[in-house]
């Protein structure tokens, strides 16, 4: 059975580590176009919410989830076990150093860079197969600017970006109230085949 993307946020074990929210995961995964046999690298994987959904799409492939925070690393393993995604491999470490020795990838997701985005993008370019997709999610204007300027200088890539603002409707007593989530920039880069 094929996985339908968009696992509710409440189903993931969270802790104090940031998590990519459901609506952003759906758009990110749609842009990533993950196939059943793909190798996916998730850099700055946090709780592993994107890694888990990527693994359910790449059921004959593998997902390598890189996370520098020990709590996040533990949460990735807990969530991988909960969703029975044996094809998720959590790695504790900071990029770009943690990318050494990784296999070539069909899709690379970057959700956290620890201020080292240019170096990470250089490593990601070397790891990404021709025809592969690199998806960067950013919460700051600086990360957006760095990603766009860096990737648009690489002639092998087509680059598109959007800003997503999600506002959920929450019931408060007999009324419905708007609850805005932080805006997220999604930068989708396709490498020429």
pLDDT tens profile 96-108 = 999 999 999 999 9
Threshold 0.85, pTM exceeds: yes
Query: Nearest to residue 3, comparing CAs of 54, 45, 60, 70?
Result: 54
**Residue 40 and residue 106: Cα distance in Å, rounded?**
6
Where helices occur in the chain by DSSP H, the ranges are 22-32, 49-57, 70-82, 117-127, 141-152
At residue 1, does pLDDT exceed 60? no
Q: For the segment 37-87, what is each residue's pLDDT rounded down to a tens digit?
A: 999 999 999 999 999 999 999 999 999 999 999 999 999 999 999 999 999
At residue 2, does pLDDT exceed 90? no
User: Under CATH, to which class is 9-191 assigned?
Assistant: alpha beta
**Residue 171 and residue 59: Cα distance in Å, rounded?**
37
DSSP conformational letter for 182: P
Count of C-beta atoms within a 10 Å radius of residue 175: 7
pLDDT at residue number 18:
86
């Amino acid at each position: 059975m094929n996985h339908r993307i968009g696992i509710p946020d409440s189903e993931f074990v969270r802790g104090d580590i940031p998590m990519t929210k459901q609506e952003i995961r759906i758009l990110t995964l749609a842009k990533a176009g993950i196939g059943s046999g793909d190798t996916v690298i998730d850099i700055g994987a946090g709780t592993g919410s994107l890694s888990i959904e990527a693994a359910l799409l790449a059921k004959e492939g593998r997902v390598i989830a890189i996370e520098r925070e020990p709590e996040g690393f533990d949460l990735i393993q807990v969530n991988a076990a909960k969703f029975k995604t044996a094809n998720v491999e959590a790695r504790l470490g900071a990029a770009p150093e943690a990318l050494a020795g990784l296999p070539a990838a069909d899709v690379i997701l970057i959700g956290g860079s620890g201020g080292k985005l240019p170096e990470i993008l250089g490593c990601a370019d070397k790891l990404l197969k021709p025809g592969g997709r690199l998806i960067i999610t950013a919460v700051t204007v600086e990360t957006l600017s760095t990603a766009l300027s860096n990737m648009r200088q690489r002639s092998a890539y087509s680059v598109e970006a959007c800003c997503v603002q999600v506002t959920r409707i929450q019931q408060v007593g007999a009324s419905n109230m708007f609850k805005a989530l932080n805006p997220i920039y999604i930068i989708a880069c396709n490498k020429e085949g």
